Amino acid sequence: MFTVVGDISADEVLEHFTRSAPAELFDAEPPTTFSIPLPPTRNQMAERVVELDGQQTHIVWGFPTVTLRDLDRYALRLLDTILGGMGGRLFVELRDKKSLAYAVTTFDAYPVDRGFLALYIGCSPDKEAEAIDEFERVLHDVQDTGVTPEELERAKTYLEGVMDIGLQSTSQRTAVYGMGELQVGKWNAFQDYLEALRQMTGAEIQRVAQTYLDPSHSVRTILRAKR
């Protein structure tokens, strides 16, 4: 796919592209469709511990989620934002209040195949067990009582701001428009994304937390400092 953004003539771009593109591009066969098998469903947490030289222990706890075409990704993206980052619930609970972490955050991905949401903490070796307990406590709190209206509104505002900043340059707009067309067939799919975020409720955030943050389906890796 080629994407062009700017104050230009579409006819001029097409003419230039036709003259300069390799002939093989026009003769290419359409791609063969294929299905991606889902990963096996786990019935208990898979945990791996690796001992390394160093002064910190790093814990990554991942949960399988959805593909980029699943509507739950909007609520999951808000959940990721509420839990992680500066001022996120994990940062406040584990670092500010408990002083457990050098760094604590979350990260997520929703590709063509099944994605994930993961929690990360870097802590001193003697705080490993308490850090894991606090991870579990925060997850249970979100699942049992949900998120606050203030947390939800802050997450929506943050993600909308990230999108606004991401569309400021021509190169960034080219990437966003091209990926929208390639992935869902709409160059302005980012507008649907923003509107979907605005419509999300606290009940939706709680539901996806209960649905996807299931420890029995998760994978946890501990990079433990040698003692």
β-partners of residue 183 are none
Q: Which two structure tokens, joined as six digits, stand for 6? A: 């700017």
Sheet order of strands, 46-52 included: 46-52, 219-225, 57-64, 116-123, 103-109
Per residue in 209-224, pLDDT (tens digit) is 999 999 999 999 999 9
The string of DSSP codes covering 53-102 is: SSS-EEEEEEEE---TT-THHHHHHHHHHHHSSTTSHHIIIIIIIT---S
Per residue in 54-80, pLDDT (tens digit) is 889 999 999 999 998 899 999 999 999
The CA–CA distances, whole Å, from 164 to 123, 157, 176 equal 34, 11, 11
- Residue range 42-54: average pLDDT? 89
β-partners of residue 224 are 51
The alpha carbon of 201 is separated from its chain's Cα centroid by a whole number of angstroms, namely 19
- Residue range 117-143: average pLDDT? 95
Look at the chain and count its residues: 227
Q: Which two structure tokens, joined as six digits, stand for 59? A: 């814990």
- 0.95 surpassed by pTM: no
Higher per-residue pLDDT: 180 or 98 = 98
Q: What value does the mean pLDDT of the chain take?
A: 88
Q: How confident is the model at residue 182 (pLDDT cuts 50, 70, 90)?
A: confident
Phi/psi of residue 46, each to 5°? Answer: -100, 125
Per residue in 14-40, pLDDT (tens digit) is 777 677 777 766 666 665 565 655 666
Domains of the chain, each with CATH number or no CATH: 10-225 (3.30.830.10)
